[in-house]
Chains A and B, each alone.
Chain A
Amino acid sequence: MATAITRKPTEGDSVARRASSKAPRRGRGRFARRLPARGLTALLLVVVVYPLVWLFLGSVKSQADYLNRPTFSLPAHWMWGNYKTAWVTGSLGLYIRNSVTAVLPSLVFVIVLGSAAGFALQAMRWRLRRPTMLLVLAGIMVPSQMILLPLFTIYFQAGLTGTLWPLIITYTATGLPLTVFMMATYFRAVPHEVIEAAAIDGAGIFRIFFSVAFPMARNAILTVALVQFFFMWNDLLIALTFTNSNNLRTVQVGLLNFTGEFGSIQYGPLFAAICVTVFGTLIIFLALNQKVMKGLTGGAVKG
């Protein structure tokens, strides 16, 4: 018992382990004990994974196959050509290129500007620090609708409509409040002694930021970048407002108007296009799932 108390709880399974200690240990109790867990797992699999499997199967069915055979059946022929149709005829390739062109620069701007500001707001000493922080935080609450109309006017007057710049500028600005806030929180974890030591060694403040603080917060930066990536990549409102021609459409806007490309709904290519966007994000998520989960939920609790 003493070890149970002094032991530092790891990962948090401690509650779970205790919860199991009362259950019967022998005989058929073992099967009965596992039954709820198995049932629950099966239920969650059906609810979460089946729609995605169905989606994928739909993406390799022909139009006649989709319309005439039962919806639960496997494809009669595997029509991989649907993906090519979606990519070329449905312009999915163009939409993805547009999304990448808009999101990547925004991501770089948001991280560089946001972490610099977060560093100055957390590690440096100045009088207006707290008011500035509050001012930036207020931006998290403001709905995007409140800034759309003036921005549209500005971009229109500046002749930026017809380019992807409105998206890049707006994504950067709307991403800043949360980024600054999260980076400031992370920089708190950089020990003050480290900064002091660097200063004694003769490093200037920019040197300290770029060679000490920024690398030390590398993990945090990746997390924040992932969170912002998903926000920007999945955004619909801003992309819909500022892309006025088919050539500028991002993935989300393109997908929304996808059926329009063909005249009538072509289910195979439509499902193929949905699949590409869905499984594309899933791959990124699976590669970095712990970071994504920590980042997205972390932003919620603090924000």
Chain B
Amino acid sequence: MDQLLGNRRAIALLVGPALVIYTAVMLVPVFWSAGYTLTAGNAITGYRFTGLANFRELLSDPNIRTALWFTLRYAVVLTIGQVLAGYVLALCYVFVLKRASAVIRTLVFFPVVLPTVAVALMFQNLFAIAPVNGPVNSFLNLIGYHSVDWFSSAGHAFWIIVIMDIWRSMGFYAVLLYAGLVDIPETTIEAARIDGATGWRLVRHIVVPLSFPVLLSAIIFSINGTLKVFDSILALTNGGPGNATTPLTLYMFNTSFSYGEYGYGATIALLLTVICLIVTVTLYRWSRVDQSEAL
């Protein structure tokens, strides 16, 4: 048996192909890309060594500050927004809709599987002002307000991106958190009710603490995804107005492929990766400590 499961040739044949592709297309390029940070140029013109010039530029580039600030603000706001929306929905599934929730769960999950570009184009037209009012502005007119040009100011554009991404993801987080809520033993809830906890107090003191682990993994997953946001912003605002809604990912993409500056693009990519690494490791450590204390 041990001989069979320890067969080296078999292991190599099973793991080998996956590992070779993974190494060649992901691992090696990560370090290769890190090497590009010391150069200027691109794939077509070739590269020349420039030392730490890219990092000096990174520190003094005002666009980096805008992009970094936008990325962090977006990650925090959207994480709070989508996890909260998902949690409220999950609570509704469990306590308000009860057994009828299966259909609603599926329905609210719809937007999760839709192509981001299609959703973004739809939102552009939902919030449109020209050449014709979209449903949102039409509704505003109906209740006596003026139409708003949603995409012309940085503040409005930011919130529309957030609204769209919450619309896209709330069903996902609702199902994720619902799984955590239904794991709470019925007897615990019953005991709390007998002790007089109802409504908000029940949620605050019993349900939230008991579903904390799954809430935490939802937050970690959310931050990880939102730091890498690209599709929805490119398709909805393309970073505008100006560069007010440009995250690091999009700035890196434009620097590399619109301006052909691979060296500086790789430097931005490295910054993004380091941020993701720090945030993931920190949250992971923190969640470990937190859960072991709770036990």
Which residues of A approach B to under 8 Å, CB–CB? 4-5, 9, 11-20, 22, 36-37, 40-41, 44-45, 47-52, 54-55, 58, 66-68, 70-72, 113-114, 116-117, 119-121, 123-126, 132, 135-136, 139, 141-154, 156-157, 169-170, 172-174, 176-177, 180, 195-196, 199, 204-206, 209, 230, 233-237, 240-241, 251-252, 255-256, 258, 267, 270-271, 274, 277-278, 281-282, 284-286, 289, 292-293, 296-297, 300-301, 303
Contact = CB atoms under 8 A, between A and B. Distances in A.
Contacts of B53: none
Contact of B99 (A13, A135, A241): A13
B230 A41 contact: no
A9 B188 CA distance: 13
Given A136-B22, A296-B172, A297-B179, A45 B230 contact: no
Interface of B: 1-2, 4-8, 10-11, 13-15, 17-19, 21-22, 24-30, 32-33, 36, 43-44, 92, 94-101, 104-119, 121-122, 125-126, 131-135, 138, 167, 171-172, 175-176, 179, 181-187, 189-190, 193, 198, 214, 217-218, 221, 224, 227-228, 230-231, 234-235, 249, 252-253, 256-257, 262, 265-266, 268-270, 272-273, 276-277, 280
Nearest to A50: B135
Nearest to B178: A12
Contacts of B5: 123-125, 195, 205
Given A146-B30, A146-B269, A147-B26, A230 B252 contact: no
Nearest to A203: B4
A277 B234 contact: no
Q: Is the interface of B mostly helix, strand, loop or mixed?
A: helix
Q: Is the interface of A mostly helix, strand, loop or mixed?
A: helix
A20 B25 contact: no
A274 B123 CA distance: 11
Contacts, number: 307
Contacts of B19: 117, 132, 136
List the 8 shortest-distance A-B pairs measured between CB atoms, nearest first.
A12-B182, A173-B25, A117-B18, A150-B29, A120-B14, A16-B98, A150-B32, A147-B29
Nearest to B281: A141
Contacts of A70: 138
B106 A293 contact: yes
Contacts of A15: 94-95, 181-182, 184, 186, 189
Contact of A40 (B13, B18, B97): B97
A289 B109 contact: yes
A282 B14 contact: no
A298 B130 CA distance: 42
A282 B114 contact: yes
A146 B115 contact: no
B221 A116 contact: no
Contacts of A255: 115, 117-118, 121
12 contacts: A18-B186, A48-B107, A117-B18, A117-B19, A146-B33, A149-B265, A169-B25, A174-B26, A177-B22, A196-B1, A237-B231, A289-B109
A145 B186 contact: no
B281 to A, nearest CB: 9
A150 B36 contact: yes
B33 A147 contact: yes
Nearest to B95: A19
A112 to B, nearest CB: 9
A126 B11 contact: yes
Nearest to B224: A141
